[in-house]
Structure 1
């Protein structure tokens, strides 16, 4: 069916994929496009992990760097720039970037590692798992405290978007290539903020040919999960005062140290990849509420399955084995660089993204210095994919965005059986996001 609007000017495509295999892709005509079929095996795509100069920002000049994982041909006419979600780094997007690039030879996919990842000490993950565990669990790595990096308290949305603009302009290559900007979860929120941002008088959406949201959005996109943001000026001021007082890192995943969770997950992936059938020694190092019960004899591979499939910590951090084999997730977790997790997430970025959820130039947004002045002017095609995490509010928020902007073409896709992480790690031929994003991206390339 097609979405409607009071103005009657908007067109859209609605794609719904149902069942564990996500085999039934129906358009309004009732026919399934070729893109929904399971793809044939593809050759590996070209990859490069490169460093770009970031914007000038508080802190040492050496940390004014962002890195990008590039998948696909550098001669492609279109670049899809993807932002990872909260606490996630470019490695979380690597598997899906490869899938998209393999099926879209004229699209190169760039996964962004934000400047925060400069703070992580990842060198030890190049060691075999046992030695890596000794290195990290023994505390032989560089840990960053709020006292050692107080400037992170100023790394909010303005800094993130200034960095992202460097990436987008590099991808545009002087206007010789068109850029689609997107992201997963809060990475999609960052992408939308870019589109509505004022860059010294130039709206961000003018740099773009499309927007792509992977279980992401604004304006109560996560309400179906029970998450809404109603930030008042008083709350924003109080939280900014705490950040200025030293609470520079978001501690939502803190397990003794800010970075401990990310380290444990990367070690779990390394063990499961190198010795999947060996009894897990790492399980004993997990917090008691997270580890498998004593005596279960869990293997290294079984630990990853326990953490992400059978007993996930929260629904956001889980996979459905019908789509994502735990072994595939383990390989992504194990990558030394780019890593799957970001060690340090700025509290100021959390604050700013909560304020940006209204997606308007509100009093709170202005109070925080957010330049969301062009949200109603966005006029590029939109793609939105939702999983079962939010029970429909992701695509509802995308429709809201279409209704309050100048977007005239929108594609909405969903698979309620998929988890929040499945679009990033699901196997080729079982990834409903890839199957529906490919025709959207291919269509933009023909514009």
Structure 2
């Protein structure tokens, strides 16, 4: 399978990893369209004041207490003012790890459907290696639409209900302003944080995971009022992602306006964004994302207790098994876009021919399995942690949702997907040259660190192709045995050491 076909599967990246197809028929009424402004006012305050038991953050490895001692806070600052968007949503949001007056700042952008919480472990590891540095993990403004209040508590019956039904979903008609939340909005919100970091230190670095790596490269090439984005930073860090990863054939202006297909699947086009402002499909939606978060909370609180019936698995399972079978490379729908943590116990398995077909050219696809149900019907399917696997499943579950942020982005704007398909790796000489000014991709004057996951979606060869096209100074690494999502959540600190070792000589 060539690079283009590999990219064609990226749309299911976190959709497959964060959720499972719905099996319950329960539903929760959506917000009325007329109540949009009122319903958006207090979400962040509610999240931070929720009764979140720190006992959930109990040590799961010897370094855990030290990691959790790293200071972190959530900061919401003004972002780009977009006409029609409620004022509180014109925001630049970062979760900041480390000192308030750092000697260097690394800003990290999450991937497709991802939130700042996806960097919680990696950010803490980096700060531990250099306590004078800070890591600012980005939440795109869409994350402000999420209501985590019920999910952050310890009320198990409530969490069980939410696994089955999800939280209240904001109706598309109440979020039509999201039609303008595309590449320009995302990069300018990010730049507000970059410029704030530059007031603290000249040593500012930009990075991202998966689609976040794409956005890091586009930021560097973007024209901000006559200045290339690369002038803001010392270097770029791309974690199993790079520009072009989500691209397909060039879009025509008609496709951009009306509708098109690209490697991400169907795109609504500008004229359809008021009807479909955010991703809402059978494999990912705000409801499914909230159900996954509820299951992760149960896995953190009571990993060995029975998971809710009618939840994420059609068979009896423990809470940890119900969470991890959606993610584990052996069982995930797309085995190359997953984690490696362990394996199911008491499970009757069969070859997953669909996953093998979709991931035929990827490491791990040949081992894809389908869980039919428990071998012993008296006991649920359980979970066995593999101490040699890159990621600890209980640590992953407990970091999935905290008062600071969460792993996913429930309301992912379709406009950003559309703009990424149009911008690709640059817009000079395209119909989008003026509206999406990705102009400065060659030569790229800042160095690049590209880290691939050995069982993920990029390779060192792809980074070298990017460097050849941009004339960038490149350093590459590959994390052995890691699947795509392991690269930011692995228990070991090899990725953090590569990052800090590369950044150190570039700081001044």
Q: What is the TM-score when the length of structure 1 is the normalising length? A: 0.80
Query: Are residues 325 and 387 of structure 1, via their aligned partners in 2, closer, same or farther at CA, if it must alter by over 3 Å?
Result: same
Give the structure 2 partner of residue 438 of structure 1.
Answer: 500
Contact residue 265 and residue 333 of structure 1 kept, 8 A: no
Residue 280 (structure 2) pairs with residue 251 (structure 1): yes
Runs of 4+ more than 4 Å apart: 39-43, 137-142, 252-255
Residue 445 (structure 2) pairs with residue 399 (structure 1): no
One of 50, 70, 73 as aligned partner of 2:75? 50
Query: Are residues 140 and 389 of structure 1, via their aligned partners in 2, closer, same or farther at CA, if it must alter by over 3 Å?
Result: closer
One of 276, 301, 307 as aligned partner of 1:274? 301
The more displaced of 178-187 and 372-381 is 372-381
Q: What is the TM-score when the length of structure 2 is the normalising length? A: 0.71
Query: Are residues 339 and 254 of structure 1, via their aligned partners in 2, closer, same or farther at CA, if it must alter by over 3 Å?
Result: same
Residue 333 (structure 2) pairs with residue 313 (structure 1): yes
Q: Find the residue that maps to 2:191 and give its secondary structure.
A: helix
Q: Please report how far the alpha carbon of residue 434 of structure 1 lies from its aligned counterpart in structure 2 after TM superposition.
A: 2.2
Query: Are residues 128 and 443 of structure 1, via their aligned partners in 2, closer, same or farther at CA, if it must alter by over 3 Å?
Result: same
Q: Please report how far the alpha carbon of residue 442 of structure 1 lies from its aligned counterpart in structure 2 after TM superposition.
A: 1.9
Query: Are residues 237 and 370 of structure 1, via their aligned partners in 2, closer, same or farther at CA, if it must alter by over 3 Å?
Result: same
Query: Are residues 134 and 324 of structure 1, via their aligned partners in 2, closer, same or farther at CA, if it must alter by over 3 Å?
Result: closer
Q: Please report how far the alpha carbon of residue 280 of structure 1 lies from its aligned counterpart in structure 2 after TM superposition.
A: 1.1
The two structures, once aligned, show a CA RMSD in angstroms of 2.5
Residue 478 (structure 2) pairs with residue 414 (structure 1): yes
One of 85, 91, 108 as aligned partner of 2:111? 85
Query: Are residues 307 and 336 of structure 1, via their aligned partners in 2, closer, same or farther at CA, if it must alter by over 3 Å?
Result: farther
The more displaced of 112-121 and 65-74 is 65-74
Contact residue 163 and residue 294 of structure 2 kept, 8 A: no
Give the structure 2 partner of residue 173 of structure 1.
Answer: 199
The more displaced of 118-127 and 242-251 is 242-251
One of 410, 414, 419 as aligned partner of 1:343? 410
Give the structure 2 partner of residue 231 of structure 1.
Answer: 250
Q: Find the residue that maps to 1:125 and give its secondary structure.
A: helix
Matches within 5 A, 1:47-446: 47-58=72-83, 59-133=85-159, 136=162, 141-173=167-199, 176-219=201-244, 221=245, 229-233=248-252, 234-239=254-259, 240-252=269-281, 254=283, 258-281=285-308, 284-286=310-312, 291-292=313-314, 294=315, 297-309=316-328, 310-315=330-335, 317-321=337-341, 322-366=389-433, 369-389=435-455, 393-407=458-472, 409-428=473-492, 431-445=493-507
Contact residue 172 and residue 178 of structure 1 kept, 8 A: yes
Q: Please report how far the alpha carbon of residue 232 of structure 1 lies from its aligned counterpart in structure 2 after TM superposition.
A: 2.3
Give the structure 2 partner of residue 8 of structure 1.
Answer: none
User: Using the alignment, how far apart are the partners of 2:204 and 2:184 within structure 1?
Assistant: 20
Q: Gaps (5+ residues) in structure 2?
A: 1-61, 260-268, 342-388
Q: Find the residue that maps to 2:237 and give its secondary structure.
A: strand
Q: Find the residue that maps to 2:255 and give its secondary structure.
A: helix
Query: Are residues 129 and 442 of structure 1, via their aligned partners in 2, closer, same or farther at CA, if it must alter by over 3 Å?
Result: farther
Deviation string for 1:399-419 (max 9, x for gaps)? 233223343x32100135211
Deviation string for 1:97-124 (max 9, x for gaps)? 1111111223200001111111111111
Q: Please report how far the alpha carbon of residue 356 of structure 1 lies from its aligned counterpart in structure 2 after TM superposition.
A: 2.5
Q: Find the residue that maps to 1:396 and give its secondary structure.
A: helix
Contact residue 384 and residue 411 of structure 1 kept, 8 A: yes
Deviation string for 1:247-292 (max 9, x for gaps)? 211235656xx212211211111111111111111x5222xxxx25
User: Using the alignment, how far apart are the partners of 1:307 and 1:141 within structure 2?
Assistant: 20
User: Using the alignment, how far apart are the partners of 1:49 and 1:244 within structure 2?
Assistant: 30
Contact residue 80 and residue 110 of structure 1 kept, 8 A: yes
Q: Please report how far the alpha carbon of residue 333 of structure 1 lies from its aligned counterpart in structure 2 after TM superposition.
A: 1.7
The more displaced of 333-342 and 93-102 is 333-342
Q: Find the residue that maps to 1:173 and give its secondary structure.
A: helix
Q: Please report how far the alpha carbon of residue 148 of structure 1 lies from its aligned counterpart in structure 2 after TM superposition.
A: 0.5
Contact residue 214 and residue 386 of structure 1 kept, 8 A: yes
Q: Find the residue that maps to 1:308 and give its secondary structure.
A: coil
User: Using the alignment, how far apart are the partners of 1:253 and 1:184 within structure 2?
Assistant: 24
User: Using the alignment, how far apart are the partners of 2:76 and 2:471 within structure 1?
Assistant: 35
The more displaced of 184-193 and 126-135 is 126-135
Contact residue 250 and residue 350 of structure 1 kept, 8 A: no
Query: Are residues 418 and 364 of structure 1, via their aligned partners in 2, closer, same or farther at CA, if it must alter by over 3 Å?
Result: farther
Query: Are residues 241 and 194 of structure 1, via their aligned partners in 2, closer, same or farther at CA, if it must alter by over 3 Å?
Result: closer
Query: Are residues 123 and 55 of structure 1, via their aligned partners in 2, closer, same or farther at CA, if it must alter by over 3 Å?
Result: same
User: Using the alignment, how far apart are the partners of 1:418 and 1:78 within structure 2?
Assistant: 28
Contact residue 336 and residue 456 of structure 2 kept, 8 A: no
Contact residue 155 and residue 349 of structure 1 kept, 8 A: yes
User: Using the alignment, how far apart are the partners of 1:390 and 1:229 within structure 2?
Assistant: 19
Contact residue 391 and residue 489 of structure 2 kept, 8 A: yes
Query: Are residues 132 and 242 of structure 1, via their aligned partners in 2, closer, same or farther at CA, if it must alter by over 3 Å?
Result: farther
